[in-house]
Structures are given as C-alpha cells and as structure tokens.
C-alpha cells in the first residue's frame, strides 16, 4: 500500500477546491483527497496539496498468472473501494461535507474495474449532494506535472505504462495532440512478458530493472525498433520477440539460463527500450519546439514523463540526457505518482470542476478513451486493439 507519507505535501491553501478522487482502471484500487489552489479567474493553479493518497495493489492476486486477470481485478475493486475511500478520508482528516466534488477515472481501462469505480463515485456524489466529475485516466497522468510542479501549458508528455505509450503535446485541459505512439505492445506490457518468460516475478518492470542492474547491456545486440524510420511512433513487439529468441537459444544450447544470462538479457532489453524511447522523445521535442512556444516566464520548454514505466531509473536517465541535449527540462513526478493513483484523478477533476464542468448520473464507463480524439487510430496495435 502506498500512503500519502510517500508523497509531497504543501501547506494549507486559501481559495481552493478539495476533491476526492477514485481510481480503479487496472489493478490498483486507489482513493485520494487533493486540495487544488485557485488563482485569478478561479482557475486551478499548481502545485497542489495531497491531503491523502491510499493505493491498494493487487500484485498478490495476479502474480500466479503473470499478468492482470480482469475478472479478479474487478471483484477486488468492488470489495475494496469503499474501504479505500474511508481510509483516504480518515488520513486526510476530512469528511464528505468538506469536499467540493468527487472525481472518478471513467476510462480507459478494464471495463469491470472502471464500472466499479464509476458506480462507487455516483453513490458517494448523490448521497452527499456533491458534484460528480468523470475524467480520463490518461488525462490524470498527463496533468500530474501540474499537480506536482505547477507546470504551465503547453508541455510535451511521454506517457509510458503497461497499457499505453504516447508522445503528446499537452496544450491545455482537454487539448492534447498525439505526436507518436505504439503500434503494438506498450513498454510495460513488454516488460511483464519478458519477466514471465525469464521466470521472474510480477509485476515485471521492477523485476527486470533489478536483474538488469547486474547485467551487461552490450552482450546481446537487440534491435532498436523503428529508429530507421521517420516519425515518433514506437514498436516493442519485435524487441520482445528478439529477447525471447535469445533466451530460448541459450536454454537449448546449455539446458537453462544462468543468473548472468538473465541479468545480461534484462540489461540488453532495458537498454534497447531506453534508447528507443529517448530517440523518439528527441524527435518529438524538435517537432514541439518548431510548433509551440514555451510558456511565458518559463525557463524553457519541458518534457514531462508519466506512467508506471517512468519509474524505471535507466529510462529516466536516458530521457534526462536527451532532454538536456535538446534544451528541454525533464519534469518527472515522484515514483509513487508514476504508477496508477487517485491523487492524479482528484487533481484532473479539480481542474475540470473549476471550469464549471460536471458529469451527470448517466456517466458511462469507457474501455477506450483516446486523449487525442482527432488522431487516427494507430494501426497494428496488437491483440488488445488500438491503444487509448
């Protein structure tokens, strides 16, 4: 469980919105209370104050399967959401009467879990007479740099997680332009599958990173997908296959994998992902600089990174080096806010609530919900379909 003790806090704000957020789109059941300061024109300005953040993970429920089982996840959300809300309110030291609204991730995600969150939020909002705000889970990630660092629009975002990989120009609330994305697997999905193939634990990202720390990234010359083609799109399916073939060849030749083999395979895979993401992000930075000006008063353009894979140290380091080379500053949230959490959902809800937006009790749960609705779906997006 992640608690608000692991997260940054600010002082009490005057002229602020206090919002309860709920997150249940995948395998974290989360609730948080966030205070969002209001500036001129009663618009939300960051950074915000995280009064509480409770995240109950489901790793133990899914570990035996090497991945998230949607039915198990949905049942766990339904059983835990009310307890999670109770814990978040108690940790924040507030009751429902102190809230200005209830925000919920209404998609995209595993539909059973999304439904559980939406129905819980509807009940809370209706029972307490509070505004209900349904927000896009991905927008929660996209706005996290505003919660943590008060980052002004516009900025470039690399959203990189178990289900998503997108490079987006974040021009404003509800205004994201996709510059590139994955045409097949997301990086976190590839990390999980490589970990499973190598007999490591779940979730795969931290396990692969731990093994890679003692490995030689140069031993296996894994491909850097799509670097030989223009544009900012990425692909990880072929890289995943190359790692599996290298592992299988070692097993066939020597009857198994040594600890050094595993470490070198993980290090080579992680290096390929980091280099690929850094190069594609550099291309997006150049495009961003050509089409957008840095916010007035800002020290320069910013590259923000969000999502669970953003917690990987090697990837952060590669992105930081490329950002510096391109004249961008890297804005990365605390590790506890990289993975799914409800503080980002509460913040996104506060930004929309300040603009006078509300959702009705007919708010629908959505399995798919692209941030850039005008962009064409990415082709060849794997067995899971087009990414959100």
Residues 207-233 have pLDDT tens digits of 999 999 999 999 999 999 999 999 999
- Phi then psi for residue 375, to 5 deg, are -80, 145
List, edge to edge, every strand of the sheet that includes 16-23. 49-57, 28-37, 16-23, 101-105, 132-135
- Residue 372 located in a structural domain: no
Is 378 inside a domain boundary? no
Q: pTM score, two decimals?
A: 0.89
H/E run at residue 204: helix 204-212
Q: Does 380 reside within a domain?
A: no
Same domain for 199 and 137: no
In a domain, 370, yes or no: no
Q: What is the pLDDT of residues 173-204, one digit of tens each?
A: 999 999 999 999 889 889 999 999 999 988 89
Q: Are residues 132 and 220 in the same domain?
A: no
Percent of the chain clearing pLDDT 90 (strictly above): 76
Q: Going by C-beta distance under 8 Å and a sequence separation of 6 or more, which residues neighbour residue 237?
A: 184, 185, 190, 382
324 and 182 in a single domain? The answer is yes
How far are the Cα atoms of 4, 7, 130, 332, 373 from residue 336, in angstroms, in the given order? 9, 7, 28, 11, 29
Same domain, 222 and 255: yes
Sheet holding 302-306, edge to edge: 175-181, 165-172, 155-160, 302-306, 329-331
Q: What is the pLDDT of residues 336-375, one digit of tens each?
A: 898 899 999 999 999 999 999 999 999 999 999 998 888 8
Residue 359 falls within a domain, yes or no?
no
Of 57-61, 103-107, 122-126, 305-309, the poorest mean pLDDT is in: 57-61
pLDDT of residue 235: 94
Q: Is 133 helix (H, G, I), strand (E, B) or coil?
A: strand
Residue 36, pLDDT > 90, answer yes
pLDDT of residue 296: 80
DSSP state of 155: E
User: Is 116 in the same domain as 184?
Assistant: no
- Residue 134 and residue 159 in one domain: no
Is residue 374 domain-resident?
Answer: no
Whether 165 and 144 map to the same domain: the answer is no
Q: What is the CATH number of the domain that holds 261?
A: 3.30.420.40
Same domain, 133 and 169: no
Task: Reduce the DSSP state of residue 68 to 3 states and report it.
Answer: coil
Among candidate residues 319, 292, 325, the one with its CA nearest the CA of residue 306: 319
- Residue 286 in any domain: the answer is yes
Token reading at 381: 């997006």
The verdict on residue 236 lying in a domain is yes
For position 380, what pLDDT does the model report?
46
Q: How far apart are the C-alpha atoms of 88 and 145, rounded to whole Å?
A: 22
What are the pLDDT digits (tens) for 75-98? Answer: 999 999 999 999 999 999 999 999
Q: How many domains does the chain have?
A: 2
Dump pLDDT digits (tens) for 301-332.
Answer: 999 999 888 889 999 999 999 999 999 999 99
Is the domain of 9 the same as that of 104? yes
Q: What residues make up the domain containing 176?
A: 155-331
pLDDT at res. 377: 77
- pLDDT value for 5: 41
pLDDT band at 59 (very low <50, low <70, confident <90, very high): confident
- In a shared domain, residues 11 and 117: yes
- In this prediction, residue 335 carries a pLDDT of 85
pLDDT for 127 equals 97
CA distances from 356 to 44, 127, 282, 353, 359 (A): 12, 21, 37, 5, 10
pLDDT value at position 376? 79
For 118-144, what is each residue's pLDDT tens digit? 999 999 999 999 999 999 999 999 999
* Same domain assignment for residues 208 and 143: no
- Residue 230 and residue 313 share a domain: yes
Q: What is the mean pLDDT of the chain?
A: 91
Say whether pLDDT at 379 is over 80: no
């Amino acid at each position: 469980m992640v608690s608000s003790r692991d997260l940054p806090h600010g002082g009490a704000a005057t002229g602020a919105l206090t919002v309860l957020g709920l997150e249940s789109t995948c395998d974290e059941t989360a609730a948080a209370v966030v205070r969002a300061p209001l500036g001129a024109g009663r618009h939300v300005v960051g950074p915000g104050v995280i009064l509480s953040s409770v995240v109950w993970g489901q790793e133990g429920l899914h570990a035996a399967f090497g991945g998230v089982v949607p039915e198990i996840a949905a049942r766990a959300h339904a059983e835990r959401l009310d307890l999670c809300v109770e814990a978040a309110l108690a940790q924040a030291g507030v009751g429902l009467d102190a809230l200005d609204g209830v925000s919920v991730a209404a998609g995209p995600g595993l539909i059973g879990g999304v439904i559980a969150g939406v129905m819980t939020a509807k009940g809370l909002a209706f029972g307490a007479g509070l505004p209900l705000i349904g927000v896009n889970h991905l927008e929660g990630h996209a706005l996290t740099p505003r919660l943590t660092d008060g980052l002004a629009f516009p900025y470039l975002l690399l959203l990189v997680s178990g289900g998503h990989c997108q490079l987006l120009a974040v021009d404003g609330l509800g205004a994201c332009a996709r510059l590139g994305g994955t045409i097949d697997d997301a990086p976190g999905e590839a990390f999980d599958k490589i970990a499973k193939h190598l007999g490591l634990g779940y979730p795969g990202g931290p396990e692969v990173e731990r093994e890679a720390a003692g490995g030689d990234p140069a031993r296996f010359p894994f491909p850097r997908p799509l670097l030989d083609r223009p544009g900012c799109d990425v692909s990880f399916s072929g890289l995943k296959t190359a790692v599996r073939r290298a592992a299988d060849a070692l097993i066939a030749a020597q009857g198994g994998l040594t600890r050094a083999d595993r470490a070198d395979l993980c290090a080579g895979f992680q290096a390929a992902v980091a280099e690929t993401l850094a190069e594609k992000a550099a291309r997006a930075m150049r495009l961003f600089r050509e089409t957008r000006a840095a916010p007035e008063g800002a020290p320069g353009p910013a590259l923000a990174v969000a999502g669970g894979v953003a917690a990987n140290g090697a990837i952060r380091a590669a992105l930081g080096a490329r950002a510096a080379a391109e004249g961008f500053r890297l804005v990365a949230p605390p590790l506890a806010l990289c993975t799914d959490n409800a503080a980002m959902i509460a913040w996104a809800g506060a930004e929309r609530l300040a603009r006078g937006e509300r959702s009705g009790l007919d708010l629908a749960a959505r399995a798919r919900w692209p941030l850039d609705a005008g962009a064409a779906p990415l082709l060849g997006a794997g067995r899971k379909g087009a990414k959100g």
